[in-house]
Structure 1
């Protein structure tokens, strides 16, 4: 028996394998997109179309067509970048870092607009919520059929965005360090910025005290609960005490759930109450307003608790410890695996983001310099920070803007992670639930500006999106992507649309029958009108949900 001669194949180096992976990446992306389209059911495609069309239409009514389209496009682009950054392959994550930098500029534009509108106060805060809702609705629509949506994918994509931001910051520092004028001012600016942050978060003696407390409480609860799930502290205990420790940790997680819901209520109260109390020109509810609105001594006690620096410092320490323990646990797990592969996967977004940041920073240096960011910081940031911004080279300033854009993209993703962590949105059909919730915010915005009938129709559309999307997700998961379900899906779609039309039409008819066509001049009646519109939206939601 003769053996066939063996042929020695030349070994390929790691660089050649990486280049081969880059060459095959476009074909891999096309295959992934084709697989996602084949995996989507008819109901999910309809739900995606409804979510985007309702969002753009209502956004046009509330904030204009240009802003609505920009926010929707930014949300879809952010979804694509997060999918790439959540990959387990270093090459794909590197390409995700490359794409995340320009995408972050799209996300930064509506995010800055939201911050400006909320800072202005009055009706502007509701316009800001509208823009943010459009961004979230499009983000959810872009991830409707992603298998890892709600299963740790968004969290991994968000951390990849942060790593890409680190790479962009490295590019900015590389250009900033040789500048002697910037180095001289950097130390003073850093100290003043730290003091400003300390006053805003810990001292909290300004009008944003209630809002900052809500954000700090939410972040601490999310960080602590995530760390408890990730670290699994009970395994470090003796076997005879693990049951009791596990029960205590379960109770602590339930406490985190309560804390995050409390933070959401406080944040909503800080935004909504000034309007209902005829304080439209104020930005947020202040502790003094809280003490005046809530009967004594409860109001004074709540105001003192919210502004207590010791409590805020404890929350900051808990958040820092939670992040630190989670980081140590990640390092422990990484050392037990292939260190080279883990390192490559970790730094790939930073390398990709840093490479594209060099080109974009050169291209954006002149426009950023013409925009004069230092003038925009005047009156908002400390004077030393404004002076530093004026001394920074245009290239480094443009790279800093890119880093801020990546932070805004990460904040969008982490907000979605927080909603899932505390079960505000379900594990299954999370895209449909998130898009429907964002559209409900648009309906609430319509009710606030006295477009109650359109708000009712929008609320009905939100729950049609949720119902159709949830049904399609269930069909895909239970029966598989290749199953013939078109007929059943069309029957369910027709029933959902008919139910939405009937409930919305009945609610509008009831609203017209009870509404009084008279000018509203008294603040109490104005508040009553707003509450009535919101209750109409809630009625539609309850009827369709039931």
Structure 2
């Protein structure tokens, strides 16, 4: 009889690798067929509408940006430093694709503002669909994991900055040029925020209000203010802090609506300025709205609140990081910036070796003014490549921050992935309606509801059942029923349009299509 205390052979390397893969699959990648189908539906809608509005090349580019960012989030959510460094490196190509995707709507907007907005909505929806599709079977897009990945993505931006500093500091002239550019950009930004009134007041004010509200809400969630008061008062303080956090969420939603509504109203007049608001708004509310948007004291207060919230949060995190310092935590802190630095160096090297950086540098010197040309002339091709890589990483971090802001503002947690798939697909349906593809708009609207329903059902199975449970029959039955309902809804809508117009297709019945799409949006929101 063998004693239980007897020594046993340690597991082999292959067995340890197998255990890690099984554990990773059960923790982060418990794929359900309906979850994968939800992502596939979003991809199908993206290809159908994107090919019509943007072209196949731009559509694939936006989808690829979403997939790369999703992979970066998945890897950045890991607790292993090498995996985090790899995820930070993925942010650079993903961010460059984001910047390239934003270039098409900007070029279209030069000829038509409405066309530029439609192209922008299409690019954002397609990128979101690619992001959700890549993570359709994962639990990573929840609030906690996405928040951790977003924070690590922001810290990865330190890497290119450090590399650029190493290139700049030995050359004092180049260092002065960089500091001059940074100071000029900072002065321009502060001038637009605090000028009375700024040139783009209908845009600046709601964005400033949104950023300030998000920073204040973040400070309320980060700093344990209840521990600073006596024990008998903590319950009351916790209640007040919860109420304040709910208030910041409501103000953030209002600011987001204003950020969309005020520029749209101003553009209907004389442009995105105060004169545009005055020429469009009713006389009864023109004075209060313009006075609020242009009030310098209010902007001073918002900037002060944002700076205070950001400073207090940063100081608290520094103290907490110092108190919990360990080799493991230090490695996790260093991994994202190191990955960003290595990726920036690799991208800059590729751009320099291929001659792209030198060509881009020459064109940039031709486009900018004399003052900026003298500053940019000090940058060599490799340093300019590092700047380009840093901008790509910043764009990727900003995109992930936007997704994190959606989670905070809307309160979506458990159904974050399915909801994003549904909203992105429905936005594509609205774009199809705007460009006159009525039948396609109906079909994509049905796909939006189908994508949300399949994703939510798959997420529910993942949470309620054990990982190895056999659910194929239930998933196929549910997916078949959802598909049948979607096909029936599209058929009824097209049939109603045919009865009203006497035609088979209904691209001309804009009111009916808008009513059906609005009904679908209401049902989708009600389901949340």
* 8 Å Cα contact 1:374-1:387 kept in structure 2: no
Deviations 1:116-150 (A, max 9, x none): 55566331122012111111121122222322322
* 8 Å Cα contact 2:266-2:277 kept in structure 1: no
Q: Which residue number corresponds to residue 540 of structure 1? A: 520
Distance in structure 2 (CA, Å) of the matches to 1:167 and 1:174:
11
Distance in structure 1 (CA, Å) of the matches to 2:264 and 2:279:
16
Deviations 1:201-229 (A, max 9, x none): 33274553222323222222222212211
Q: Which residue number corresponds to residue 449 of structure 1? A: 435
**How do residues 358-507 of structure 1 correspond to structure 2 at under 5 angstroms?**
358-365=345-352, 366-372=355-361, 375=364, 378=367, 384-385=371-372, 387-423=374-410, 426-507=412-493
Q: Which residue number corresponds to residue 4 of structure 2? A: none
Q: Which moved more, 1:66-75 or 1:123-132?
A: 123-132
Correspondence 1:47 to 2:38? yes
Q: Which moved more, 1:156-165 or 1:58-67?
A: 156-165
Matched residues, number: 508
Residue 50 (structure 1) shift: 0.9
Residue 71 (structure 1) shift: 0.5
* 8 Å Cα contact 1:41-1:481 kept in structure 2: no
Q: Which residue number corresponds to residue 160 of structure 2? A: 168
Change (3 A) 1:108 1:182: same
Return the match for 2:53 from 35, 41, 62.
62
* 8 Å Cα contact 1:450-1:533 kept in structure 2: no
Change (3 A) 1:516 1:421: farther
Gaps of 5+ in 1: 1-6, 8-20, 518-527
TM-score where L is the length of structure 1:
0.84
* 8 Å Cα contact 1:164-1:353 kept in structure 2: yes
Distance in structure 1 (CA, Å) of the matches to 2:266 and 2:295:
22
Distance in structure 2 (CA, Å) of the matches to 1:383 and 1:193:
16
Secondary structure class of the residue paired with 1:170? helix
Q: Which residue number corresponds to residue 346 of structure 1? A: 333
Q: Which moved more, 1:469-478 or 1:125-134?
A: 125-134
Q: Which residue number corresponds to residue 226 of structure 2? A: 234
* 8 Å Cα contact 1:38-1:481 kept in structure 2: no
Residue 152 (structure 1) shift: 1.7
**How do residues 90-105 of structure 1 correspond to structure 2 at under 5 angstroms?**
90-105=81-96
Residue 421 (structure 1) shift: 0.9
* 8 Å Cα contact 1:172-1:397 kept in structure 2: no
Change (3 A) 1:97 1:187: closer
Correspondence 1:132 to 2:124? yes
* 8 Å Cα contact 1:78-1:107 kept in structure 2: no
Q: Which residue number corresponds to residue 336 of structure 1? A: 323
* 8 Å Cα contact 2:46-2:425 kept in structure 1: yes
Q: Which residue number corresponds to residue 194 of structure 1? A: 186
Change (3 A) 1:460 1:511: same
Q: Which residue number corresponds to residue 277 of structure 2? A: 290
Residue 36 (structure 1) shift: 7.6
Change (3 A) 1:41 1:218: same
**How do residues 117-156 of structure 1 correspond to structure 2 at under 5 angstroms?**
117=108, 121-156=113-148
* 8 Å Cα contact 1:374-1:386 kept in structure 2: no
Deviations 1:433-465 (A, max 9, x none): 112111122122222223333222212111110
Gaps of 5+ in 2: 1-6, 8-12
* 8 Å Cα contact 1:185-1:384 kept in structure 2: no
Residue 407 (structure 1) shift: 0.8
**How do residues 4-15 of structure 1 correspond to structure 2 at under 5 angstroms?**
none
* 8 Å Cα contact 1:504-1:540 kept in structure 2: no
Distance in structure 2 (CA, Å) of the matches to 1:531 and 1:300:
34
TM-score where L is the length of structure 2:
0.86
Residue 170 (structure 1) shift: 1.3
Residue 472 (structure 1) shift: 0.8
Distance in structure 1 (CA, Å) of the matches to 2:260 and 2:519:
20
Change (3 A) 1:228 1:315: same
CA RMSD in angstroms, aligned pairs only: 3.3
Secondary structure class of the residue paired with 2:484? helix
